[in-house]
């Protein structure tokens, strides 16, 4: 029987961080069909400690690989995933304290979407992200869809490909452009799913992040233009329909 949710956690020489993540997923892992996959690239001493930690917890699988970047680690996690949904939750990112596990799993069982995007609470600042208006949802605006707050169907990676290893930080941005140039159904839920560690790689290397984003925009420019045009047409049609309904008979 296919599992419902696999949580893929990438870590490197950060025992405390991965321990916090594993602790936060405990309630979820107590339910049938939920498993966590640890992709570890730690050095020998830390590797032993992370492996011991993973093996001491229920429904946690451990895999080690040579350090090759986050994209490659994510893809390795996908190669071991056996679930309908996947969730990328890196070391020291945690399931939000207010998440109701039964409600979340019910949502995954019943949803007809390809992806569900929640909000993030930033750990250090305590700020909660807000979804932009619908017309401003997609790339390449200031912020793209964050993988820690997004649950995705595993079939998306089979259909549109895995993460591009040439991108070290903005790989999720490039993946979403590939998806959104097609007919992917997305639900937005205005509730924080994850507490996000702002001291992570993506936050500390903002210059590299911006350079990669520019490269991606140039490479996928025509797809982005098509997305904007399609989105603008949908908004215009919705507004026209609203105006027609509002007119007196």
Give per-residue burial for 41-51: e unless 16+ CB within 10 Å, then b: bbeeebbeebb
Q: What's the CA gap between 145 and 151, in Å, rounded?
A: 11
Quick one: what percent of the chain has pLDDT higher than 90?
A: 52
Three-state DSSP state, 95: strand
Q: What is the pLDDT of residue 181?
A: 62
Mean pLDDT of the chain: 83
What are the pLDDT digits (tens) for 202-213?
A: 544 556 666 777
Q: What's the CA gap between 102 and 164, in Å, rounded?
A: 34
**DSSP string over 146-188:** -GGGEEEETHHHHHH----TT-SS-HHHHHHHHHHTS---EEE
The domains of the chain, with CATH numbers, are 3-246 (3.90.550.10)
What are the pLDDT digits (tens) for 119-160?
A: 999 888 889 887 766 555 555 444 456 788 999 999 999 999
**DSSP string over 113-131:** -SEEEEEEEETTT--B--P
Which pTM does this prediction carry?
0.81
Q: What's the CA gap between 159 and 155, in Å, rounded?
A: 6
């Amino acid at each position: 029987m296919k599992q419902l949710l696999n949580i893929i956690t990438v870590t490197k020489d950060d025992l405390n961080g991965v321990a916090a993540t594993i602790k936060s997923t405990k309630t979820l892992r107590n339910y049938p069909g939920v498993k966590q996959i640890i992709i570890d690239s730690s050095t020998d001493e830390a590797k032993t400690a992370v492996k011991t930690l993973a093996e001491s917890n229920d429904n946690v699988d451990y895999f080690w690989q040579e350090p090759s970047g986050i994209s490659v680690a994510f893809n390795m996690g996908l190669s071991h995933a056996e679930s309908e949904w996947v969730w990328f939750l890196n070391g020291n990112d945690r399931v939000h304290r207010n998440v109701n596990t039964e409600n979340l799993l019910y949502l995954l069982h019943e949803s007809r979407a390809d992806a569900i995007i929640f909000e993030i609470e930033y750990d250090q600042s305590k700020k909660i992200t807000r979804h932009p208006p619908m017309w401003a949802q997609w790339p390449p605006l200031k912020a793209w869809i964050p993988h820690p707050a997004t649950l995705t169907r595993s079939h998306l990676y089979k259909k549109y490909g895995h993460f591009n290893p040439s991108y070290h930080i903005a790989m999720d941005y490039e993946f979403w452009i590939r998806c959104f140039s097609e007919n992917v159904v997305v639900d937005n839920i205005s509730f924080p799913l994850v507490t996000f560690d702002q001291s992570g790689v993506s936050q500390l290397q903002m210059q590299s992040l911006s350079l990669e984003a520019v490269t991606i925009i140039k490479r996928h420019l025509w797809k982005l233009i098509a997305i904007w045009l399609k989105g603008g047409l949908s908004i215009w049609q919705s507004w026209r329909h609203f105006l027609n309904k509002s007119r007196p008979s």
